Amino acid sequence: MESPLRFILFFLFVGVAAVYVHIYLYRRLFRDTSESRAWRLTGKVLLTLLCLPLLLSWVVTRVLPSAFAMAVMSWTWMGVAVYLLLSLATLGGVRWLVARTRGHRGVKAPVAAPSPEPVATPSLAELSVTVPPPGVDEDRRRFLARATAGGAVLAAGGLTGFGMWSAFHPPVVNEVTVRLPGLPKALDGFSIVHMSDIHVGPIIQRRFMDELVRRANALKPDLVAITGDLVDGTVSDLAHSVAALQNLKARAGTHFITGNHEYYWNSSAWADALTGLGITVLRNRHVSIGDAGGAFDLVGVDDWSMRNGPQGYNLDAALAGRNPDRASVLLAHQPSNWDVAAKAGMGLQLSGHTHGGQFFPFTVAVSAIWKHDAGLFQEGDRHLYVSRGTGFWGPPLRVAAPSEIVKVTLIS
């Protein structure tokens, strides 16, 4: 289990960063665009009211699950704030480059300075008045500040609108073919529909789930695999929405493993609920898929982040009693363990967790942090597929990382 100290340090870092971002937004959007005290006061109040719920949302949702919908509104603002920050920084950089270029073009030869004349010492009243530096056109500076702010608001609004449309749009379907070591000829062409990180909750509900089921069934899979982070809420609140999964049609059934979010909402209760829907829950164990004519092992482990807890990730337990010569597919929420799993003989691992970054610029950050961020990876004859996720979490945004349903076809 994660150290409480790490959580505290993480939230402190995020909290300080969020406060500084809101201060920066106030300065660029309100202070720099008008001398009006009412306008500036409005900015201070508005950004304070937007910042505080964002800082508290991560804790409040754990104590009061009913406040989750309000938290999503705060997380949506987080996405808007990120795009405002990027837009302001970009437009400000362009302004600086243009000004610097014009400055270089307008350089003239130095002129001898006239002899200094006595200057009267200003009074305290005069010092208290804000006077722009010599050579600065205050009207022009104010106009550029307003133009930059307006452009940033338009750009952030456009990106946020597109991101929300993409988040609520049905996932794209990606199809990949994987040669699985040791797969019997009888199972050549066996198909797995892989879904991950759906995050059913106050926003993603039954209508979204029914559409996922329809799209998955249209692919006519032999097996459905759900690799964790299915829910963000309790069984009592989300049972109706999750019950849509019992309508999935696959000859070898639907199989599920836990992600880190299941542990936030009682993983054991969810395991029991899903079992009641006819879904096979693999908690550090394996099952045989196929028949006497040909079969492979489907292995499932609990989430990697719980590897140090009393009930968590345990690949050794999942492989206990298994014939190592048989073909195998591993379901593991996070791709962190792939190197170990490949050495243990797993021919294919299906994972999620990263969301592919979910929305720019976090797509770039995730790509830099994670060795295997999204898509299909291969080392030797071993494969790993990391899903970008089938739903979304936090800000309901998807920019440069659309959600997906993956159809994996196994060949021998």
State CA 151 to chain mean position distance. Answer: 26
In-domain check, residue 82: yes
In-domain check, residue 117: no
In a shared domain, residues 316 and 393: yes
In a shared domain, residues 179 and 99: no
Domain ends where: 122, 149, 166? Answer: 166
Structure tokens at 227: 């690799």
* Residue bearing the bigger pLDDT, 116 or 128: 116
Residue 1: per-residue pLDDT: 44
Average pLDDT in the 152-160 region?
Answer: 96
In-domain check, residue 131: no
Q: Which residue has the tokens 């379907």?
A: 173
CA distances from 407 to 81, 191, 349 (A): 35, 7, 14
Structure tokens at 175: 């199809």
In a shared domain, residues 15 and 42: yes
In-domain check, residue 213: yes
Lowest mean pLDDT: which of 110-124, 170-184, 255-269, 351-365?
Answer: 110-124
In a shared domain, residues 273 and 340: yes
In a shared domain, residues 156 and 179: no
Q: Are 290 and 321 spatial neighbours (Cβ–Cβ below 8 Å)?
A: no
In a shared domain, residues 151 and 293: no
Domain ends where: 166, 185, 218? Answer: 166
Residues 6+ away with beta carbon under 8 Å from 338: 332, 349, 351, 372, 377, 384
Average pLDDT in the 288-301 region?
Answer: 95
Q: Are 256 and 245 spatial neighbours (Cβ–Cβ below 8 Å)?
A: no
In-domain check, residue 76: yes
Structurally, the chain folds into a number of domains equal to 2
Average pLDDT in the 82-109 region?
Answer: 81
In-domain check, residue 22: yes
Query: What is the C-alpha end-to-end distance of the chain, expressed in Å?
Result: 39
Domain ends where: 146, 166, 186? Answer: 166
Q: Are 200 and 238 spatial neighbours (Cβ–Cβ below 8 Å)?
A: yes
In a shared domain, residues 97 and 183: no
In a shared domain, residues 212 and 250: yes
| Domain containing residue 243: CATH number | 3.60.21.10
Question: d(Cα 375, Cα 356) in Å, to the nearest integer?
Answer: 8
In a shared domain, residues 148 and 221: no
Structure tokens at 111: 């002129």
In-domain check, residue 122: no
Residue 278: per-residue pLDDT: 97
Angle at 73 between CA 68 and CA 78, to 5 degrees: 115
In a shared domain, residues 96 and 241: no
In a shared domain, residues 78 and 155: yes
- What is the Cα Rg of the chain in Å? 28
Q: Are 385 and 177 spatial neighbours (Cβ–Cβ below 8 Å)?
A: no
Amino acid symbol at 132: P
Per-residue model confidence as pLDDT tens digits over 43-74: 999 999 999 888 887 666 666 655 666 777 88
Q: What is the DSSP letter of 184?
A: -
In-domain check, residue 194: yes
In a shared domain, residues 313 and 405: yes
User: Which residues form the domain of 212?
Assistant: 171-411
Residue 73: per-residue pLDDT: 81
Q: pLDDT band at 97, cuts 50/70/90?
A: confident
Task: Enter the pTM of the model.
Answer: 0.87
